[in-house]
Amino acid sequence: MKKYLLRAAMAIGLSASAFAHAQLQVEISGVGASQIPVAIAAFADESIAPQQISAIIKDDLTRSGMFKIIDTGSALSETAAVNLGDWKSRGADALVVGSVQRLADGRFDVRYKLLDTVKAAQLSALALAGQPQFTRITAHKIADDIYEKLTGSRGAFSTRIAYVTKAGNEYRLEVADADGEGTQVALRSNEPIISPAWSPDGTKVAYVSFEARKPVIYVQNLITRQRIVLAGFKGSNSAPSWAPDGSRLAIALARNGLTQVYSINQDGSNLRRLTNTNGIDTEPQFSADGQSIYFTSDRSGGPQIYKMSANGGDAQRVTFNGTYNISPRISPDGKLLAYISRRNGLFQLYVLDLASGQEQRLSDTVKDESPSFSPNSKYLMYATEAGRRGSLAVVSVDGRARHRLTTRAGDIREPTWGPFMK
């Protein structure tokens, strides 16, 4: 496993303190149209590790909605002789086997193989050594490898998410694994925290905090815990969005009355105004290639989504269905636009194929907000309500696979899905 990944994972959360009670609970409610049957054996000697590697892999693949898990009923090492024809006859297209060994320096050496039962061939093999606290990351990396080898798309199980939790009078900006485990607290405040946004390298989060009794944009380094005021101008400072190269952010400021879109360097320098209208322009989001900015504007009478050059200039309207479309988010591959649309009094998640213009509603809930794409562009996380409490929902971009992340106490809002770690 790359040293950078381990260092970042070790440092990124700041304080792992006693927040086990705040771990998110996963509830799966939908699966993909066609699932790949995979047999996953218990890893040999995995009981010596802090967590069961094979169980984490199963949970990851099940949550994706892409796989039908076939339990082998026994442990199988990657060195064991297996009859792939037998596994094929049991309905498995692929077989996962592996082992865990404790090294002299205290690390755990995890080895795994992915075998194709149809072609009777080995598809992949990994050997990952890490400290005990990185057991879950190791398992997620293996699940990522399985996902990629069997679907052709990069897996996102080892990525991180950030979100805001409100419990009582306290707001917390929290960071967790994509499955809701490993919750760590980046910021606590008695004032609201909104609009967190990951930097492209996964080491920083920009967010809006009201701790100064007004909305101010901060950028916080998750490794060093240092933070700077990015924008604390007169009026509202809101809606930070990173450029793909991490050099600057698009933000929304109400310096001169009406909210307009600006760009600013990641150190707070070189503020530039990008829109100049008599309406409200807000919620800017860079396109995947960094050449354009999508944003919400009421210049047509009601809030709709527009697109302009990343350097400002004329804007073109993008959404035309419905009278109220907000919160644009572009998929990392640049193909899809997600947004929240109010229709028939319901606030729901939609996605627009930018090439074909085809629109699809992805949610069946009624108070959706804050969509965020997974870094592989295959899933969307958004905030909604469950039992009158805020929760996070995840849906595949085809709308078929879905699961929900909830907590036993407090509201969860404002999700943002982190990038792939380099």
**Domain chopping of the chain, boundaries:** 31-151, 160-417
Q: Residue 381: count other Cβ atoms within 10 Å of its Cβ.
A: 21
**Percentage with pLDDT > 70 across the chain:** 93
Residue 221: is its pLDDT beyond 50?
Answer: yes
Is there a contact between 108 and 138 (Cβ–Cβ < 8 Å)?
yes
Place of tokens 């309905």: 91
The residue behind tokens 């799966």 is: 28
Q: How confident is the model at residue 388 (pLDDT cuts 50, 70, 90)?
A: confident
pTM of the predicted model as reported, rounded to 2 decimal places: 0.92
Average of per-residue pLDDT across 244-260: 95
Instruction: Residue 239: name the closest of 184, 318, 294 by CA.
Output: 294
* DSSP structural state of residue 20: G
pLDDT score of 257:
86
Helix 135-151, helix 3-11: angle, nearest 10: 130
Instruction: Show the tokens assigned to 254.
Output: 């109400």
The tokens of 407 are what? Answer: 């907590």
**Contacts (Cβ under 8 Å, ≥6 apart) of 329:** 285, 337, 338, 339, 371, 372, 373, 380
410: confidence class by pLDDT, cuts 50, 70, 90: confident
Q: Which residue has the higher pLDDT, 409 or 200?
A: 200
Examine the pLDDT at 19 and tell me if it is beyond 70.
no
User: Which residue, 340, 391, 392, 381, is CA-closest to 361?
Assistant: 340
Residues 6 or more apart in contact with residue 302 via CB below 8 angstroms: 323, 324
Give mean pLDDT, residues 6-29: 45
Give the confidence band of 34 by pLDDT, cuts at 50, 70, 90.
confident
**pLDDT given for residue 408 in this prediction:** 67
Least confident of 231-235, 271-275, 407-411: 407-411
**What pLDDT, on the 0 to 100 scale, is given for residue 16?**
33
What average pLDDT does this structure show over 54-58?
97
Helix (H) or strand (E) holding 58: helix 53-64
Asked if residue 186 has pLDDT above 70, the reply is yes
Tell me the mean pLDDT in the region 360-381.
96
Residue type, 251: I
Q: Give the mean pLDDT of 216-232.
A: 96
Sign of the C-alpha dihedral computed for residues 408, 178, 226 and 236 taken in this order = negative
For the domain spanning 31-151, the CATH number is 3.40.50.10070
What CATH number was assigned to the domain covering residues 160-417? 2.120.10.30
**Span 193-219, mean pLDDT?**
97
H helix or E strand, kind and range, residue 142? helix 135-151
Q: HSE-up of 153 (CA within 13 Å, CB side)? A: 14
What is the average per-residue pLDDT within 182-196? 95
Cβ neighbours around 97 below 10 Å, total? 25
| Choice between 150 and 9, residue whose per-residue pLDDT is larger | 150
With tokens 């028939």, the residue in question is: 344
Give the pLDDT confidence score for residue 387 in this predicted structure.
72
More confident site: 308 or 404: 308
Task: State yes or no: pLDDT of 294 exceeds 70.
Answer: yes
CA distances to 28, 215, 240 from 22, rounded to whole Å, are: 19, 26, 26
Q: What is the mean pLDDT of the chain?
A: 91
pLDDT value of position 17: 34
Least confident range of 72-81, 307-316, 330-339: 72-81
| Segments of 16-82 assigned E as strands | 25-30, 36-42, 67-75
Evaluate if residue 13 carries a pLDDT over 90: no
